[in-house]
């Protein structure tokens, strides 16, 4: 299993600004995943981050808007850039051990 | 990419009643996973099904994978208030989630 922490747990930001979300895992993992969950909706994969290489983004998500860093095997950051109210969501990082996927507690972002 | 359709979107039951949520795909799935998300919480892995016709049980929860591996179900017997939450199916290496079924239980 894995213990995943995220910072911040929540934030209220003004449109046009950027927020960086941190994800820390208590074990070394090859891949880390970033998801978005809009209010009352399901989870949507934003990107997959491997240590030492550029993240792979899903359709509809671009690096300029959601830059990701993966400096080592236990840590990753997701930045939400030039925010608009449509970016108001919960952002979750996730890791996989075997076939089980574990999620962090999420960062609840509100953009005003 | 592959998508799974999940129904119903909401289910309100009286405590003690049964509950079932269904996932359907137009294509054959290699596997399917089920997650539970409590209100205000994050998704928690419940189970993975891989084999055609597979049935797995976890106490009052029964998970099924269809013979054609295109559908799956989660059945809860005699619901309790602790079962409240949203249940998601998810499939594929990239873990594509269904829309989820929100379960509320009236005591």
Q: Taking residues B78-103, what's their average pLDDT?
A: 95
Q: Is B100 on the interface with A (CB under 8 A)?
A: yes
Dump pLDDT digits (tens) for A60-100: 999 999 999 999 999 999 999 999 999 999 999 999 988 89
CA gap A78, B91 in Å, rounded: 24
Dump pLDDT digits (tens) for B39-59: 999 999 999 999 999 999 999
Residue A10: both structure tokens together: 């929540």
Residue A70: both structure tokens together: 């993966």
Burial-class residue B24 by CB neighbours within 10 Å (0-12, 13-18, 19+): middle
Q: Which of A70, A94, A76, A73 is nearest to A2 (CA)?
A: A94
Number of domains in chain A: 1
Domains of chain B: 4-106 (2.60.40.10)
Dump pLDDT digits (tens) for A10-20: 999 999 999 99
Residue A82's domain is classified under what CATH number?
Answer: 2.60.40.10
Domain ranges, residue A93 = 4-111
Q: Taking residues B79-96, what's their average pLDDT?
A: 94
**A94 beta partners:** A33, A103
Mean pLDDT, all residues of chain B = 95
Q: Is B31 on the interface with A (CB under 8 A)?
A: yes
Q: Which pLDDT score, from 0 to 100, does residue A52 have?
A: 82
The DSSP line for A41-108 is: --EEEEEEEETTS--EEPTT--TTTS-EEEEETTEEEEEE-S--GGG-EEEEEEEEETTEEEE---EE
| Chain B residues within 8 A of A94 when measuring between CB atoms | 95
Token pair 């290496």: residue? B93
Dump pLDDT digits (tens) for B10-31: 999 999 999 999 999 999 999 9
User: Given pLDDT bands bounded at 50, 70 and 90, which one contains residue B1?
Assistant: low
């Amino acid at each position: 299993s894995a213990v995943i922490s995220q910072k911040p747990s929540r934030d209220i930001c003004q449109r046009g600004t950027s927020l960086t979300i941190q994800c820390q895992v208590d074990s070394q993992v090859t891949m880390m995943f970033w998801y978005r969950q809009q209010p009352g909706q399901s989870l949507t994969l934003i990107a997959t981050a491997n240590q030492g290489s550029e993240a792979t983004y899903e359709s509809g998500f671009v690096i300029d808007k959601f830059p990701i860093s993966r400096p080592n095997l236990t840590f990753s950051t997701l930045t939400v850039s030039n925010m608009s109210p449509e970016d108001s969501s919960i952002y979750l990082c996730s890791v996989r051990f075997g076939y089980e996927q574990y999620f962090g507690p999420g960062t609840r972002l509100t953009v005003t | 990419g592959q998508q799974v359709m999940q129904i119903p979107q909401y289910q309100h039951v009286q405590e003690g009643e049964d509950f079932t949520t269904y996932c359907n795909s137009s294509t054959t799935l290699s596997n399917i996973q089920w997650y539970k998300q409590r209100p205000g919480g994050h998704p928690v892995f419940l189970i993975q099904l891989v084999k055609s016709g597979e049935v797995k049980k976890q106490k009052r929860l029964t998970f099924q994978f269809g013979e054609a591996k295109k559908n799956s179900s989660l059945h809860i017997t005699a619901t309790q208030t602790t079962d409240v939450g949203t249940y998601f199916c998810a499939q594929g290496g990239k873990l594509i989630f269904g829309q989820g079924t929100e379960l509320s239980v009236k005591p």
